[in-house]
């Protein structure tokens, strides 16, 4: 009887949260949507921000990056020298690939550690290269924020003070919107104002089953 009692008391293991991959091209509004998602009470993991932070946080990563790119990859204060690294890998695709082979697994582990601490049934993972790196395959669903190219360009010019040509050259290197739209499970069209964007975000996230 005692044994039966303790059996019935055993807590069911918590189901792991469903991971929604949130993505969008430059200036699409994915960060704005991510902030709305947090306002609606769901946690967001910012992959690109975490990747930038991890290169300074992990001693293991620092050693590997210095081995690959030289001591100059970190400045006199021990901080990742983004300009040095960019110059090194800009014209060397293999080197860039090797650098990513170091950074991406570290972000994966960082995400898994973050995920273990989450208690909501849905979590969001903001990643610019979700489809390019096929990370959507590791997600329950993908959510794409998209907008017309000219609208995205204008927003980035206003936000970053970049020229039309600078934004255009970044866009040209990204996966075309039409290809991303085909791959996405859920879509948010960010062609109008922030109120509309917030409403769409609410509708989409609360309709994910």
Residue 50 is a binding residue for ligand ATP (CB under 6 A):
no
H or E, element range at 146: strand 141-146
Binding mask 138-177 for ligand ATP (x = CB under 6 A): -----------------xx--x------------------
Count CA atoms within 13 Å of residue 75 on its CB side: 8
Nearest distance, CB of residue 71 and ligand ATP, angstroms: 30
Contact status, residue 22 vs residue 143, Cβ threshold 8 Å: yes
Which residues in the 113-142 window bind ligand ATP by CB under 6 A?
A: 128
Closer Cβ to ligand ATP, 142 or 190, answer by number: 190
Residue 32 is a binding residue for ligand ATP (CB under 6 A):
yes
Q: Is 170 exposed, middle or buried (0-12, 13-18, 19+ CB in 10 A)?
A: middle
Instruction: Name residue 74's beta-bridge partners.
Output: 80
Q: How far apart, in whole angstroms, are the C-alpha atoms of residue 67 and residue 63?
A: 6
Residue 21 is a binding residue for ligand ATP (CB under 6 A):
no
Nearest distance, CB of residue 32 and ligand ATP, angstroms: 3
Among 20, 22, 27, 110, binds ligand ATP (CB under 6 A): 27
Count CA atoms within 13 Å of residue 142 on its CB side: 23
Contact status, residue 18 vs residue 158, Cβ threshold 8 Å: no
Closer Cβ to ligand ATP, 26 or 69, answer by number: 26
Contact status, residue 22 vs residue 124, Cβ threshold 8 Å: yes
Nearest distance, CB of residue 46 and ligand ATP, angstroms: 10
Binding residues for ATP: 27-32
Q: Where do contacts with ligand ATP occur on this chain (CB under 6 A)?
A: 24, 26-32, 128, 155-156, 159, 190, 193-194, 197
Binding residues: 27-32
């Amino acid at each position: 009887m005692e044994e039966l009692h303790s059996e019935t008391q055993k807590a069911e293991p918590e189901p792991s949260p469903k991971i929604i991959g949130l993505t969008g091209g430059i200036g699409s509004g994915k960060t704005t949507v991510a902030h709305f998602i947090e306002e609606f009470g769901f946690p967001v993991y910012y992959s690109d921000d975490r990747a930038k932070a991890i290169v300074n946080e992990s001693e293991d990563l620092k050693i590997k990056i210095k081995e690959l790119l030289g001591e100059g990859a970190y400045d006199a204060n021990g901080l990742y020298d983004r300009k040095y690294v960019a110059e090194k890998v800009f014209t060397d695709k293999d080197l860039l690939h090797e650098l990513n082979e170091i950074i991406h697994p570290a972000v994966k582990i960082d995400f898994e550690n973050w995920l273990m601490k989450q208690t909501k049934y849905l979590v969001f993972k903001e990643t610019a290269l979700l489809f390019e790196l096929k990370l959507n395959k590791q997600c329950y669903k993908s959510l794409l924020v998209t907008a017309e190219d000219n609208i995205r360009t204008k927003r980035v010019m206003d936000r970053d003070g970049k020229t039309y040509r600078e934004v255009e050259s970044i866009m040209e290197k990204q996966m075309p919107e039409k290809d991303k739209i085909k791959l996405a499970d859920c879509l948010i069209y960010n062609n109008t104002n922030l109120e509309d964007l917030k409403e769409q975000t609410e509708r989409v996230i609360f309709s994910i089953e």
